[in-house]
Amino acid sequence: MLRTSANHNNIYLFLATAETLSFTEAGQKFGITQGAVSYRIKQLEDEIGCKLFIRQVRRIALTPEGKQLYDAVSQSYEVIDNVISDLKDPTPSGELRIGASPSFSSRVLIPALPRFLEQYPQMNIRVVTSSISQTFNDESMDVAIVYADRISEFHTEPVIRESIVPICSPAYARKHNLFSGNKTLSGLTLIDNVNSSNWLQWLNDGEYIATHNNRFLVDDFHSTLSAATSGIGLAIGRWSLVKDLIHSGELVAPYQAVLTNKHYWLVSVKGMEHRASYKLFSSWVNNDVFGKKT
């Protein structure tokens, strides 16, 4: 049972008026006059106890209170529409637009997607690799997998806390006797991403000491992996992005992993979490992509 005391027909009329910013256009949608729309909006304002629109010559605009109500009402109706759509056809289909960083897309998401498509062949997938704020704001993405401390504004679901671990080629580890258990990293080449503080965190949290080392600087994760597999030095990476290379033997991890303060989050615009397509994707990400397993 809807608990608001306001007239629900007036709320729906308010939504149409807020979307068009025109009493005339809103009236045309409902088959009533401009004056009737204005009168019913005034009724709603009296019920709520505040002005929802600024009435100007030949135009109207939302007040701050009107904008607040519009955001709440539009999200609520979107949730209702999504649920009705899913009830009519509970089998998820259509396009799912998934956002992720280039490194996560290439190293984890895309290699795992064949399993998703095998389970849900009726789904079409679009992978978007750009910033979370940009893609959600221009409505080009439904859901994203994001690595961050925390995220506000959007609907978020924590998936897993990430670890970081030093990695290098097997030959480099043998040459420098890196499996000796020594807590001092000395005389090595440390491959460092200029956009990351992973080395600093790993050294501090793992209680290691680094002295007399050369640095090899890169500015993206693909270059980090390329430098490590080429035997240039000792790199550091997120466990989820490098574990397959370690399991295959292409890289080795001569030192222990350290937990970061960051998580992978499943992020979506509010309301998307009620969709059947989101629910199945969330379940798949948790159980198949990460699986809470290494």
Return the CATH number at 218.
Answer: 3.40.190.10
What's the CA gap between 280 and 86, in Å, rounded?
12
* 3 or 207, greater pLDDT: 207
* 95 or 153, greater pLDDT: 95
Q: Is residue 1 part of a domain?
A: no
Residues 6+ apart with CB under 8 A from 108: 100, 240, 241, 289
What's the CA gap between 4 and 280, in Å, rounded?
32
What's the CA gap between 145 and 268, in Å, rounded?
9
What's the CA gap between 21 and 41, in Å, rounded?
12
Q: Which tokens belong to 119?
A: 């389970």
What's the CA gap between 13 and 6, in Å, rounded?
12
> Looking at the structure, do residues 251 and 177 belong to the same domain, yes or no?
yes
Task: Name the nearest CA neighbour of 292 among 201, 194, 158.
Answer: 158
Q: Evaluate whether 41 touches 10 at the Cβ level (below 8 Å).
A: yes
Query: Could you give the percent of the chain with pLDDT greater than 90?
Result: 60
Label residue 139 by pLDDT band (50, 70, 90): low
Q: Which of 40, 64, 88 is the last residue of a domain?
A: 88
What CATH number does the domain containing 50 carry? 1.10.10.10
3-state secondary structure of 292: coil
- Average pLDDT for 216-224: 95
Q: DSSP states of 73-96 as a string?
A: HHHHHHHHHHHHHHHH--S--EEE
pLDDT at 39: 92
**Is 133 a residue whose pLDDT tops 70?**
no
> Looking at the structure, do residues 145 and 26 belong to the same domain, yes or no?
no
Q: Could you give the number of structural domains in the chain?
A: 3
**Is 292 a residue whose pLDDT tops 60?**
no
Q: What is the pLDDT of residues 87-98, one digit of tens each?
A: 665 555 578 999
Task: Give residue 187's domain range.
Answer: 162-261
pLDDT at 88: 60
* 154 or 250, greater pLDDT: 250
Q: Is residue 202 part of a domain?
A: yes
Label residue 150 by pLDDT band (50, 70, 90): confident
Residues 6+ apart with CB under 8 A from 134: none
**Is 197 a residue whose pLDDT tops 70?**
yes
The mean pLDDT of the chain is 87
**Is 132 a residue whose pLDDT tops 70?**
no
